[in-house]
Amino acid sequence: MEEIAFRILICFLASAGAGLGTGFAGMSAATVISPMLVTFLDLPAYDAIGIALASDVLASAVSARTYAKSGAIDLKNGFVMMCGVLSMTLVGSWLSSFVPDGTLGGFSVFMTLVLGLKFLLLPSVKPRHTMQDSSRVMQIVKGAAGGCCIGLICGFFGAGGGMMMLMVLTMVLGYELKTAVGTSVFVMTFSALTGAASHFALGNMPSLDLLLLCVVFTLIWAQIAARIATQATPELLNRLTGLILTIIGIVLVTISLL
């Protein structure tokens, strides 16, 4: 009985961090769920990643729907970026086979901390209408190029694609944070679905109880975070996002040292 309660608790905590990260910052659930399931439940890394990807699908889809209702999503550029992401993920996955696992995981943790501090200290509050300072063609080119870079990095480093997407959208394309997160979770819905399907097709199905718990808990927390985010002011959203990412980054550093 104690073992069952412990498994539920770990799934709840991991999913809470993943859901909040997804809803507030468009972060991949794999960044939080995978290391926690591996560390505390001794789950094989492959199974943990599969569970995290599956948790990402519904959480990202529901978050994207919430952001779309408030108009905080760029579907046109989102589709362009999605094509770039999906096309280059396989290339990144192939290249990652030549790099040690420790390097990959360390990069993801580093990016989480960097972005968390960035949004706390240098918030992205530019109104959406000011970002259209270049032609639509240039926006499409930047979106496609950014999507290819994100897909390459996502496949190469595993977890961290959401962080890279957020960085490209805010720093390269000039999106304010709310629209950047909305567009990010929209793209992640399809990339996570593709990743989860291929993951389960190539390997064994993970523990169904852990899968169900993580999917449900992540979905709930992502919906809560997305609803809060769409109602928050740009300044508050930057602070909340930065705080969540910084806390998650610290937790991940702690886990990596266990």
The three-point CA angle 250-256-258 to 5° equals 105
Compute the chain's Rg from CA coordinates. 17
Q: pLDDT tens digit string along 50-69?
A: 888 889 898 999 999 999 98
Cβ atoms within 10 Å of 204's Cβ, excluding its own: 9
pTM of this structure: 0.78
Q: pLDDT tens digit string along 76-103?
A: 778 888 888 777 766 766 665 565 544 4
Q: Is the pLDDT at 37 greater than 80, yes or no?
A: yes
